[in-house]
Structure formats: structure tokens, C-alpha cells
Amino acid sequence: MNEIKVISVNILSSIRKIYWFVFRPKTRGAKCIVEHDGKILLVKLSYAHKGWTIPGGGVDRGETYEEAVRREVLEEVGIKLNGLKKIDEYLSTKYYKRDTVQVFYAKTNSSKVKLDGVEIDDYLWFDPKDSLPNPHSIRLPGLIEKFKSFKNYSNII
């Protein structure tokens, strides 16, 4: 059953890219750097670039960025987020859409992860001092640097 869902996600992803090329919509996304014991949760996507990234996804109509990132992280990896802090925002024009993405930071007390089995193929708790796993999203190195800057600044306060 999960195999059918993964195939469906890949087909829908291709259809969305065609739609985005034709209509060039404005969209919103939210991602979260989830930390546990100094390590960052990375997820490997089953669609798109099929590489390592941080969890997150689209913001639904009528939903705040914070609500969206909480929903996406819970759906994808089964972690309930508390204490979100916005640490970045960027504009992505990948796939011809104009996607405003807000990046948040949250800590979790448990390393327990429950994958959705559809969008996410795998996960790992990544030590930011290590080399990034490959393949990874083009933005992941910058997000890791943003996390390091945030952590250094937070430790000073």
C-alpha cells in the first residue's frame, strides 16, 4: 500500500511542476531545524530531489507558517513541536513558482521518529560538525550554517 502512495506522490509531484511552469503561482512553505542533544534531524525525501533535507512542507490556505511547520513535522516524522523560533526566510523560484519559505528552530526531548512512509524514505540525527550526507538539497548547507549562527548567538544571550 505504501508503494502505491509513493508512486502517487511522485506522479502528483510531476503534475504540480507542470502547473507551476504554466501559472507561476505564489506559494508558502515552512521548514524546521529540529534539534535533539546537539544533533539535527535530517529526512530523505521520496520525491523531488530525493535527497537529505530538514522536515517541512507547504502552508495551506488560512494556515500560519507556525501551524504549517507543526503539522508537517508531525505528519512526516511524528514529532510534536513546541517553542518554535523563526531563524530564516528565503524566496525559492525552483520549479517556476515563487515560494516564500520560513525556517524555524525547535528542540525535542526525544530522538524517537515515526516516518510517514510516503514522503519520507529515511531519517538520521546529524551532527552539524560532520560532512553532510549525499545527495542533499541545495539549501541544506546554508540552513546548517544558519543553525550554527543561531546556536552561537543563543548561547551568548
State which residues form the domain around 145.
2-156
The number of folded domains in the chain is 1
Mean local confidence (pLDDT), 127-132: 94
* Residue 157: per-residue pLDDT: 40
Taking the CB of residue 135, how many other CB atoms lie within 10 A of it?
14
Rounded Cα distance between 50 and 120, Å, is 9
Q: What pLDDT does residue 128 have?
A: 94
Question: How much is the pTM?
Answer: 0.81
Higher pLDDT, 9 or 51: 51
The answer to whether the beta carbons of residues 56 and 73 sit under 8 Å apart is yes
In 3D space, the residue among 2, 79, 81, 90 whose CA is nearest the CA of residue 46 turns out to be: 2
Find the CATH number of the domain harbouring 34: 3.90.79.10
Indicate whether 103 pLDDT > 60: yes
